[in-house]
Amino acid sequence: MTPGLYTGPLLALLCLLHGSEETCPSMCLCVSDTVSCSSSGLAKLPLSLPSFSVTLDLSHNHLSWLGPDGFKRMPRLENLRMAHNKLSSLGHGVFQNASSLRLLDLSSNMLHVVEQHYFQGLWRLEELLLFNNKISQVEAGALSGLSSLKMAYFSLNQITHFPFFSIQDHSHPFLTMLDLSSNRMTRLPWEDVKALPGLVQRGLYLHNNSLICDCSMYSVFWHWNLRGYDSLKDFTDEHTCTIYGDPRASIRFLRHTRFFHNCTVEKAVSQPVTVLLSNVLVSEGERVRLDCQTSLSSTDLSFTWLSPSKGYITQASINDTLISLFANGTLEIQAAKVNDTGLYVCTAVDIKQALNATREVNVTVLLPVAESFNTGYTTLLGCVVTMVFILMYLYLTPCRCSYCKQPKPPLIPIAAYDPSTLTSVFSPSTRQQPKIQTNKHVAFMEPMISEEGTELTPES
């Protein structure tokens, strides 16, 4: 069959349907503003496509190249589907005259490089589907003009490097989904990743890559996990990394955190941290610092905190060594108690200019739940073991002396037991060790949109 075969009567009919000057290519179906040429065996674009098209479906064909004239005179085209073709590259200016595009589906093709010029002029594009190609490289400026982009799918390719730095708040204000899963990235430029807009971080999918386990990687995922991002919750087991880059030594790092015990992420978080956000989650006994950075920039400010448990706190009123108020307004509580939970309001007053400003911090102090459970659990076990021995003593006597002389109670005095050594004996609770640790650390509850990537590393 020859594509583009001129079938007179049908064409004439379609001409009538579409106001006479428009033609529907013979192998396509044209219905109102939708043109479907899918599974038509096309090796080239039809010579003339109707200019009224809003949706054009060219998927499941044999297209291998698109040239500059492909979509000219299609000012209304919004949805272009070209999945399952054989495209390995795109010429310059392919979409130059299709600048109304909102959805571009190039998935399941054979693209190797996403070149800088591919999507030029598509400033209305919202959804870009490039999954299941052979992409190994995304050029630095390839996504730069796409200022309306909401979702970009790059999974199932061979990408080793991605230009994270090219995605910024002002360049891509609407981007909420960036799927880079199932690629071949081993190391990411984590500083660039942490600098991504908060919405992009929340919608960044990186599972099933070839990441190499290291602390900087772990630290980033640890914080994302703390914030409960769906990408981590939905693909917990697909988040793997390889130890020393050895593909045989692959671990599910969201489940098995032992390898990362030496990483500073946890140490850093247990240190007092200056609060940048207005929600603070802390475990009982931890030190917490609440800063009072407000819009006032004068260096001569006086600060007052209103706390839920202690009322007004000023520098003069403090007679408690467990609380300090620094000259810059930072309030430090040495060991937070559950009673310290609540809303803290700081007022900064600029006396000279008679200005004041407030800052609110919502503090939640949690009991270290896992630990108390653990203690109860081991105490219970101790009781059971004691009971068994008492019963044995009562019912198994008299016995041979060699047996009796060793009533060595396996029961270590409860007060002296070290939970970390005991829990390793009872396998069910060893799994809980990492959880206990995460519960103990100062952590931030983040509002929906993070202000800057910098708050990822609170150790600063």
The DSSP code sequence of 65-82 is: EE-TTTTTT-TT--EEE-
Residue number with CB closer to ligand NAG (1 or 448): 448
Residue with tokens 């467990």: 322
- Shortest separation between residue 320's beta carbon and ligand NAG, angstroms: 5
- Shortest separation between residue 420's beta carbon and ligand NAG, angstroms: 15
Q: Are 306 and 312 in contact (CB under 8 A)?
A: yes
Name beta bridge partners: 305: 313, 346
E strands of 260-341, at which residues? 279-283, 288-290, 302-307, 311-313, 323-325, 331-333
In Å, how far are 154, 166, 231, 394 from 204, measured between CA atoms?
11, 15, 7, 64
CA atoms of 323 and 300, how far apart (whole Å): 22
CA atoms of 144 and 154, how far apart (whole Å): 16
CA atoms of 175 and 171, how far apart (whole Å): 9
- Shortest separation between residue 259's beta carbon and ligand NAG, angstroms: 6
Residue number with CB closer to ligand NAG (61 or 304): 304
- Shortest separation between residue 210's beta carbon and ligand NAG, angstroms: 8
Nearest to 310 by CA among 348, 280, 278, 340: 340
Residue number with CB closer to ligand NAG (38 or 347): 347
- Shortest separation between residue 337's beta carbon and ligand NAG, angstroms: 5
Residue number with CB closer to ligand NAG (86 or 184): 184
Residue number with CB closer to ligand NAG (27 or 281): 281
| Angle CA 180–185–186, to nearest 5 | 145
Residue number with CB closer to ligand NAG (318 or 422): 318
Burial class of 374 by CB neighbour count within 10 A (0 to 12, 13 to 18, 19+): buried
Residue number with CB closer to ligand NAG (73 or 431): 73
Residue number with CB closer to ligand NAG (31 or 335): 335
- Shortest separation between residue 102's beta carbon and ligand NAG, angstroms: 18
- Shortest separation between residue 107's beta carbon and ligand NAG, angstroms: 15
Q: Give the residues lining the site for ligand NAG (CB under 6 A).
A: 72-73, 96-97, 182, 208, 238, 259, 262, 274, 279, 291, 293, 317, 319-320, 326, 328, 330, 337-339, 343, 347, 349, 356, 362, 364, 445
Nearest to 107 by CA among 78, 136, 129: 129
Residue with tokens 């800063």: 291
- Shortest separation between residue 48's beta carbon and ligand NAG, angstroms: 12
